[in-house]
């Protein structure tokens, strides 16, 4: 079965630091997404990416966030200056006939 791979599985960073979360989506899918889930809460949409540009983004996805797919393989989410409230599980997703999520990256901002 195809799978979406995310690295790292857990990242601890100091407030104000930049982090890059990495994802390898399913190669023949066209749309890629980032979602986040604050501990104990519902999953929230951040951004969708199609044809090397952002397709949709939520209010959460402000100027401190950016996404790119630099090499046609990895799909990255960058948070420029992390805040305590950015602590969450971040999920990458790849959608085709089914909608697959990666195993998530747990980001802890201290």
Partner 1 sequence: AQKVTQAQTEISVVEKEDVTLDCVYETRDTTYYLFWYKQPPSGELVFLIRRNSFDEQNEISGRYSWNFQKSTSSFNFTITASQVVDSAVYFCALSEALMDSNYQLIWGAGTKLIIKP
Q: How many CA atoms lie within 13 A of 52 on its CB side?
A: 4
Residue 29 lies near partner 1 (rule: CB under 8 A): yes
Nearer to partner 1, 58 or 76 (CB): 58
Binding residue for partner 1, selected from 54, 56, 64, 110, defined by CB under 8 A: 56
Q: How far is the CB of 38 from partner 1 (least distance, A)?
A: 12
Query: Smallest distance from the beta carbon of 24 to partner 1, in angstroms?
Result: 15
**Between 39 and 84, whose beta carbon lies closer to partner 1?**
39
Rounding to the nearest 10 degrees, give the CA dihedral for residues 98, 58, 14, 67: 60
- DSSP assignments along 35-54, one per residue: EEE-TTS-EEEEEEEETTEE
């Amino acid at each position: 079965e195809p799978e979406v791979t995310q690295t790292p599985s857990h990242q601890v960073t100091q407030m104000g630091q930049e982090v890059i979360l990495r994802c390898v989506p399913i190669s023949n899918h066209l749309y890629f997404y980032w979602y986040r889930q604050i501990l104990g809460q519902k999953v929230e949409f951040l951004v969708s990416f199609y044809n090397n540009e952002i397709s949709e983004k939520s209010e959460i996805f402000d100027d401190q966030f950016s996404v790119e797919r630099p090499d046609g393989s990895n799909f990255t989410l960058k948070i420029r200056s992390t805040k305590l409230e950015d602590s969450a599980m971040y999920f990458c997703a790849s959608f085709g006939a089914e909608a697959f999520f990666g195993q998530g990256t747990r980001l802890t901002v201290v």
